[in-house]
Amino acid sequence: MSRHYSIALDGPSGAGKSTIAKAIAKDYGFIYLDTGAMYRSFALYALNSGVDFSGAISDRGNDKALIALLDSFTLDVRYVDGVQRVFVGGEDYTDLIRTSEVTRAASAVAVVSAVRIRMVKLQRKIAEDADVVMDGRDIGTYVLPNASVKIFITASALARARRRYRELIGKGDGSRTFEQVYADMIERDKNDSSRSFAPLARAEDAALLDTTDLDLQQSIDAVRAIIDSRIVRESSGSPA
């Protein structure tokens, strides 16, 4: 069996992980696995099933309801023209999971250990079968502890909130003020870092990249340089 390479990009919300990961996957000819889309899909499934996420993210009253939904939840990750799409119960959820409501619910479901265990099992299986770039909160520490390359991508909360706000405005979503986006960013950071199971953390062997003062292309170039310096090239079929 040929060796597969895995690149783990971790970091807080809004650090640019997904955009960078997609670019890197394209450059190296790897599969990009958007782990956040998997949690978002379950969050939307829970919302459609009547789970109430209107309270604070820190509330844990919905845990039993979420765990019960896992029995009927089916997730299929497919690649259409090289682009990841997620299907739940045969329905394509890909274009339905980027709303503010789903974002908030996804942060809540991600702290439930039973949910994470289900998702991680699928993520590891995909990484076993292909060269992958995977981004999330705990890829290098928990999902793929033996990843070929681990990078922790971060930026100041203010910079990340500004990026997220510009992204929303660019999509025509003016439903939230910048102050609300910033407050949500702070709350999500707290939620991701304080959860008891597989919290957001930098792996001991992960390179640290702060993108606060970098533009997108500079960030991509910096990640590529780290990958090139860490992957040991083999004479047969090594990444570019």
pTM over 0.75: yes
HSE-up (13 A, CA, CB side) for residue 72: 8
The domain tally of the chain equals 1
Angle of the 100-109 helix axis to the 178-194 helix axis, nearest 10: 20
Residue 59 confidence (pLDDT) above 90:
no
pLDDT of residue 237: 46
* 238, part of any domain: no
- The burial class, CB within 10 Å (0-12 / 13-18 / 19+), for 175 is exposed
Please state, in angstroms and rounded to a whole number, the distance separating the CA atoms of residues 188 and 148. 28
* 25, part of any domain: yes
Render pLDDT for 73-88 as a digit per residue (tens, 0 to 9).
Answer: 999 988 888 788 999 9
Which CATH number does the domain housing residue 218 bear? 3.40.50.300
Residue 116 confidence (pLDDT) above 70:
yes
Confidence grade of residue 24 (pLDDT, cut at 50, 70, 90):
very high
* 105, part of any domain: yes
Diameter of the chain by CA atoms? 55
pLDDT of residue 219: 97
* 18, part of any domain: yes
pLDDT of residue 239: 46
| Mean pLDDT score of the chain | 88
* 1, part of any domain: no
What string of DSSP letters covers the chain? -----EEEEE--TTSSHHHHHHHHHHHHTPEEEEHHHHHHHHHHHHHHTT----S-TT--TTHHHHHHHTTT--EEEEEETTEEEEEETTEE-GGGS-SHHHHHHHHHHTT-HHHHHHHHHHHHHHHHHS-EEEEESSIIIII-TT-SEEEEEE--HHHHHHHHHHHHHHTT--SS-HHHHHHHHHHHHHHHHH-SSS-S---TT-EEEE-TT--HHHHHHHHHHHHHHHS---SSS---
* 240, part of any domain: no
Q: Which amino acid, 209? A: L
Render pLDDT for 194-217 as a digit per residue (tens, 0 to 9).
Answer: 877 778 889 999 999 999 999 999
Phi and psi (nearest 5°) for 36? -60, -35
Angle of the 35-48 helix axis to the 100-109 helix axis, nearest 10: 100
Show the domain range for 70.
6-230
